[in-house]
Structure 1
Amino acid sequence: MEKKHIYLFCSAGMSTSLLVSKMRAQAEKYEVPVIIEAFPETLAGEKGQNADVVLLGPQIAYMLPEIQRLLPNKPVEVIDSLLYGKVGNAANLLI
């Protein structure tokens, strides 16, 4: 089975990097075939082209319309701020 690419975009990258680590651990634990990466929002138009799913950190929720415009054929969503604030719970997005 081909691995799906889930790309997360944010402004600073610190909390998103932690979230990516947790999501990767959950994916491995449940043998979910995914590649999960984090990038700064400035690379959304470029890197997002290779994603199957694009997730935005809540701090850049205001960019949702612009990133949807840049990636018209990709699902783009903002991670819920309550889940994002509880990084361990947000890793359960995979399940």
Structure 2
Amino acid sequence: MPGLLGELAEDTRNVLLALARAWVTLDTGAVVPKDGAAGWALGRLPGEHRPALAHAREVYLGEAEENWGRAGPGRVADCAAYLAGRVRELAPGSG
């Protein structure tokens, strides 16, 4: 997880989508595509974290150009931290 979060600034879209995939897999046991994982996670994220993940999904699907300013100052890092927290909570050996 630390290695993945360390890549947030350079590969924002893929880091957010990978965290969403890890969350859905740990929570449901399903392995889903990145856009599907983002859709699943968007329905479970607090509102303040949705813009960053929604933008990552749109960029992945070719529906938007990468522009992380849309998510708001600090929102990308906050979203990543929230997703990583969910993954840590569900990861084997974390509890």
TM class by shorter-chain length?
0.3 to 0.5
* TM-score normalised over the length of structure 2: 0.34
Looking at secondary structure, tell me which structure has more helix per residue.
2
Higher relative contact order (CA 8 A, sep 6+): 1
Looking at secondary structure, tell me which structure has more strand per residue.
1
